[in-house]
Chains A and B, each alone.
Chain A
Amino acid sequence: MKNETPTQQMWKRMLSVLLALLVLGFGVSGVSLLNIMILNGNKYATLAAEQQLSTTTIDATRGTIYDCNGIELAKSATVWTVYITPKDIENDDEARLIADGLAEILELNADDVYAQTQKNTAYEKVKKKVENDVADQVRTFISDNDLGSIIGLDKANKRYYPNGSLASTVLGFVGDDNQGLSGIEYQYESLLKGVPGKMVSSKNARGSDMPFNYETMVEAQQGSSVTLTIDSFVQYCAEKHLEEAIEINRATNRGCAIVMNVNTGAILAMATEPDFDPNDPFTVTSEYTLDLLEQYKKQPVDSEESSEDQQEDNRDDNTTAYEKAYNEALNEQWRNKAISDVYDPGSVFKTVTGSSAIDEGVVNEQSTFGCPGYIVIAGTRYHCHHRAGHGHQNLFNIFENSCNPAFIEIGQRLGVTRFYKYFKAFGLTQKTGIDLPGEANSIYYTDENMGPVELASESFGQTFQITPIQMITAVCAIANGGNLVTPHVLKEVTDIEGNITRTEEVSVVRQVISKQTSELMCKMLRSVVENGSGKNAYVAGYRMGGKTGTSQKISESTEGAMKYVASFCGFAPADHPEYAIIVMVDEPHGGNTYGSAVAAPVASAIMKEILPYLGVEAVYTQDEYANINTTVPTVEGTSVESARQAISAAGLSSRVVGDGDKVIAQNPIGGSTAPTNGTIVLYTEQDYQPEKVTVPDLTNMGVSGVSTTAASAGVNVEIVGVVSGSSGAISYYQDVAAGTEVDRGSVIKVNFRYSDSVE
């Protein structure tokens, strides 16, 4: 070892100490790091993640609902939730700026928004379900005022119902969190809702974004789409005519209509009116209901002795009563009457009694019945609606006349056991199992507590209650050869890529009656429409069959104010049934309460529109063919002489206005229809002025009266609801109001119905 100088030794010692300190220092750090990163690494990483990372749920886009033709009935799209971070607002000026700016863009109250800015929170929702165009305005406001750290937009979803109130009680609606609350939205929630995603991003302690960008996302999975058996056009026709009927007949407890495929149970339309708009489900839409609610708004009469506190209390009570009544009205309008409300089916149920008796062999085509106008069962007298009695009748007659004593007699012949057996076999003791929520249970006598009087009442459709869907399902079984099918609304389910993941099959519950019984019943029910109480349900060319019903709501009626339910249930074509329909109008107050006058015309109007659309071929009888409207030939531009000939060949007459040789214009125009023997007005001079005439009152007249009055007034009439030339029908509605000025030759549609008092 060399001899070292003192300086060198000192350096060595100093370096050693320095090294030792370094080793010690780094050692401690190393041990600490070892502890933090290795030994307790997971624990601290978790704590850090909890503190620094924030998880935002990404809503899944809800699946689309289609009708059977692929028309969108409900669809979701991205919208935005505007929020603010009040904690990051620096001063009151900034708060004011935010409040005023957002209030203007989002159409809110500025003071309410300002109040939110004063809260000591990191997240305040200002408005939900803001659409893209408004969101863009918010973004512009944010960037113009450099408020990116205070105002933000979260992605959300909104449910659109493009067709408004169409099929609203079937579709249902969703809540604020896009969860189904009623109807199909609720029934198929698990399929439609999808799987939410997640976005993890880094936030500081105040909840704002970190300077560095870190975020990772798990994409949401869109929900499956659902295709229904509902046909938009059929649904529209059902709702349109039902709504008209409710208005014309001033029904106070709503109405419903169902159109169903007789063989498969597929529901093509299910209408309840008044209904609601699922785009705005929390608003009452019925004018009648809103008028009723007005009474709760009226201020109470405050007497002079009432103190201010008492007056205030009165107003509060009124507000509460109004709110309560409004909420009840909302629940009422959401209710699907076709499946959730029970009613006494009345004479429509005679189809079940009759088919049960025929199937059991208790009655047949040769059976006869006598009706003196009443029947006595166990000391109870039951009157026929035709007090004078129908006299001697065969099996066809008792259906045509809807004779109560005859059906009571049939019920007695069947007996309690067999009657109840068929009552059960037709599915009337249990729910149909339709894939909609809220189906009600029926109320009935079982065989154990049914005596002869109960049997008598039930035989003609009183003293028990079923739902409209149960009734039409039973009638479908009668019409389709005896098979009780399960009604359904779902057609198929498709995933996001369009692959069909589920298809609804036809479900036959059981064979209820024989094919022969079914064929006989179809003939008899066709006879009801052609010759009996169901004449108002007649549709030329389509062999409609069915039964009317008028039931008393005894438990809900008061002395001298009986309430009724008017209904009709039928199918077409009667010789080869394809589609069934039921129409129910609850508590009509339009002067006539019978099913034949109130419900049957609605069924006729609906079937007249939908059967050609559904491709059911019309087959006319000679009489029908002679009375159907004629297509008006196009004669504009032709000579007056040839125009006259063409019009005459079409079975129409003509009236020439002017002295010209050529036809300049005609009314009705070519290609439209005019009634047989109608008049076509031909204008032959340029700058012609169409002759104006005043439409007369054409209601409350027979067919011939209407034709004569219309001809005198210079208008043509299209007869709707009856075969032209038939007697007994009375007009009740015209599509152009009396007193309106129209061009001479215009066609006025006039609706007729038979107003015999038949249930």
Chain B
Amino acid sequence: MMYRDSTAYDFDLFAPKAKEVVEIPTHRKNAKPRSRAKTKGLLQSRLVIVAAVVAVLLLVVAQLHCQLQNSEVVCEIDRTKTEIRDLKSDNTRLQSELNGKVSFTNMEKAAKEMGMQKMTIAQTEYINLNTTDSVELADGDGGLLAAMQGLF
């Protein structure tokens, strides 16, 4: 296609091109250079965040640890309760055996074999005690009340 223009002699092509200017955003244009203090603050905040996260994790771990200990204690309690129950049963069984051995019948038989005898009614002495209730008041030192009473 033929162009009716002066491309061959288009001196515009040889004209210096305008440089492409990339506009810098205003905030960056107006931005002040960062100070050392700000950098330091940022670092500190990040450290705080990390510390907080670590603290939370530690709390969680501590909570889990407590739960674990609690479960262990509960298990120990259950185990001990079971042991107590078993020992009580053994105690009942052994008490029954013992009571059988020290029954009135066996006691009488053993006592007779040892030459003992039951106390007879002739060997019982009766003592008369004062059966009425009585109250004994200790002698007081006097005191303020007694002194006041003494005035009258």
Contact = CB atoms under 8 A, between A and B. Distances in A.
B121 A133 contact: no
B99 interface: yes
Interface stretch (A158-166, A338-346, A656-664): A158-166
Given A163-B103, A164-B100, A673-B117, A618 B124 contact: yes
Contact of A673 (B86, B92, B95, B123): B123
Interface string A603-641: 000001100100001100000000011110000000000
B113 to A, nearest CB: 13
A635 B103 CA distance: 34
Interface string B95-123: 11011100111000000000101101111
B9 interface: no
Contacts of A631: 122-123
B70 to A, nearest CB: 16
Contact of B121 (A131, A618, A747): A618
Interface in A468-489: none
A398 interface: no
A540 B121 contact: yes
Between B91, B121, B126, the greatest number of chain A beta carbons within 10 A of the residue's beta carbon is seen for B121
B85 interface: yes
Interface string A158-183: 00111110100000000000000000
B89 interface: yes
A279 to B, nearest CB: 8
Contact of A617 (B88, B96, B105, B126): B126
Interface string A236-254: 1000100000000000000
A668 to B, nearest CB: 9
A39 B93 CA distance: 55
Between B88, B96, B98, B117, the greatest number of chain A beta carbons within 10 A of the residue's beta carbon is seen for B96
B104 A233 contact: yes
A162 B89 CA distance: 13
Contact of A236 (B85, B98, B104): B104
Nearest to A155: B85
A79 interface: yes
A77 B91 CA distance: 9
Contacts of A166: 103-104
Contacts of B98: 162
Interface size class on chain A is: 20 to 34
B36 to A, nearest CB: 44
B90 interface: yes
A77 B93 contact: yes
Nearest to A133: B90
A609 B120 CA distance: 9
Contacts of A160: 92-93, 96
Contacts of A673: 117, 120, 122-123
B15 to A, nearest CB: 33
Contacts of B85: 78
B117 A672 contact: yes
A63 to B, nearest CB: 13
Contacts of A87: none
Contact of B100 (A78, A162, A608): A162
B125 to A, nearest CB: 11
A734 to B, nearest CB: 14
A540 B86 CA distance: 52
B128 to A, nearest CB: 10
Contact of B93 (A132, A540, A630): A132
Contacts of B103: 163-164, 166
A152 interface: no
Contacts, number: 72
Nearest to B100: A164
A541 interface: yes
B124 A612 contact: yes
Contacts of A240: 104-105
Interface in A108-167: 131-133, 160-164, 166
A162 B100 CA distance: 6
A525 interface: no
Interface string B55-91: 0000000000000000000000000000001101111
A532 to B, nearest CB: 23
Given A77-B89, A162-B100, A669 B115 contact: yes
A164 B88 CA distance: 20
A585 B32 CA distance: 124
A162 B104 contact: no
A75 interface: yes
A168 to B, nearest CB: 13
Given A132-B86, A162-B100, A629 B92 contact: no
A668 B37 CA distance: 114
Given A162-B96, A240-B105, A78 B120 contact: no
A78 B124 contact: no
Contacts of B121: 540-541, 608, 612, 618, 628
A574 B121 CA distance: 18
A132 B117 contact: no
Nearest to A619: B126
B54 to A, nearest CB: 33
A179 to B, nearest CB: 19
Nearest to B98: A162
A596 B88 CA distance: 50
B90 to A, nearest CB: 5
Contact of B122 (A77, A78, A232, A628): A628
Contacts of B90: 77, 131-133
B116 to A, nearest CB: 8
A79 B105 CA distance: 28
Contacts of B118: 609
Nearest to B108: A240
Contacts of B99: 72, 162-163
Contacts of B93: 77, 131-132, 160
A75 B92 contact: yes
A612 B121 CA distance: 7
Contacts of A78: 85-86, 88-89
A162 B95 contact: yes
Contact of A77 (B88, B105, B115, B123): B88
Between A163, A233, A747, the greatest number of chain B beta carbons within 10 A of the residue's beta carbon is seen for A163
B111 to A, nearest CB: 12
Contacts of B120: 628-629, 673
B80 to A, nearest CB: 15
Interface of A: 72, 75-79, 131-133, 160-164, 166, 232-233, 236, 240, 540-541, 608-609, 612, 617-618, 628-631, 669, 672-673, 747
Given A77-B89, A240-B104, 17 more contacts: A72-B95, A75-B92, A77-B88, A77-B90, A78-B89, A131-B90, A133-B90, A162-B99, A164-B100, A166-B103, A166-B104, A236-B104, A609-B118, A618-B124, A629-B122, A631-B123, A672-B117
Ranked nearest first, the 3 interchain pairs of A and B with the lowest CB-CB distance are A77-B92, A162-B99, A77-B89
30 contacts: A76-B92, A77-B88, A77-B90, A77-B92, A78-B85, A78-B86, A78-B88, A131-B89, A131-B90, A132-B86, A132-B93, A160-B92, A160-B93, A160-B96, A161-B96, A162-B100, A164-B100, A164-B103, A166-B104, A232-B104, A233-B104, A540-B121, A608-B121, A609-B118, A612-B121, A628-B120, A669-B115, A672-B117, A673-B117, A673-B123
